[in-house]
Amino acid sequence: MRISRREIFLGIGVVLLAWVLLLVALSRWQAGRPPKRGSVQPELVHYPGTEDAPEQESENLGWRKYWFTLDEPYPSTSVYQFYRREMEAQGWRLVPEREAEWVTQETDEGRRDLFHATWLAPDRLYQMDLDMMSVVKQKREEGQVVSELREAGIKVFVTLRRVMMPGLLLPPSEPQAPKGEIEVPHR
């Protein structure tokens, strides 16, 4: 018995159509379910003076973002210090647990000084990313840099999002017995 190419493509098409229909049905079912207890997205903390900054949001992807330009000279870390105090007071952990710092990245037009910090929520379901950037434009003549001009201010981006793989960031916490049940030690 020989199967024709047409039959193979027809079979693949049917499987793909079934897969798409399954995904659509699952997404509609999940969208209609109430959120699990404790899985409500945390509030996006705004840096003082940026409370009215526009936010960008994707409910399906589970992230919220806002940005602004900080009117302070490079290498300011005032935004980082603010978020470090605020997030850690709410139980969030800096990941990795070391002080974040500015790093320089060379580009064709000059260089960018970048700063990145990430905090992980106590339930390990959400993370908050702080990204800052200061740009230096270079003027070149005959392959040589003849002048540099740093753009005014520092661009700041704050993103709150779901963690894609929470188990990869931190080891699981010790399981606790539900209230009203007795915990039996393992031998």
Closest C-alpha among 94, 71, 68 to residue 81: 94
Calculate what percentage of the chain has a pLDDT beyond 90.
42
Output the pTM of the full model: 0.67
pLDDT at 60: 73
The helix (H) or strand (E) run that includes residue 22 is helix 5-32
Cα-Cα end-to-end distance for the chain: 59
Q: pLDDT grade, residue 89 (50/70/90)?
A: very high
Q: pLDDT grade, residue 104 (50/70/90)?
A: very high
pLDDT at 30: 55
H helices of 64-142, where?
78-89
At 41-85, the pLDDT tens digits run 788 899 999 999 989 888 777 789 999 999 999 999 999 999 999
**Which one has a higher pLDDT value, 20 or 170?**
20
Distance, in Å, from the CA atom of 1 to the CA atom of 5, rounded to the nearest integer, reads 13
pLDDT at 177: 53
Please determine, for residue 113, whether its predicted confidence score (pLDDT) is greater than 90: yes
pLDDT at 133: 96
pLDDT at 47: 94
Over the range 163-186, which residues count as b (16 or more CB within 10 Å of their CB) and which as e? beebeeeeeeeeeeeeeeeeeeee
pLDDT at 21: 87
At 1-30, the pLDDT tens digits run 788 888 888 889 999 999 888 877 766 665
Ranges of each domain in the chain: 1-34, 55-166
Distance, in Å, from the CA atom of 169 to the CA atom of 125, rounded to the nearest integer, reads 10
Please determine, for residue 168, whether its predicted confidence score (pLDDT) is greater than 60: no
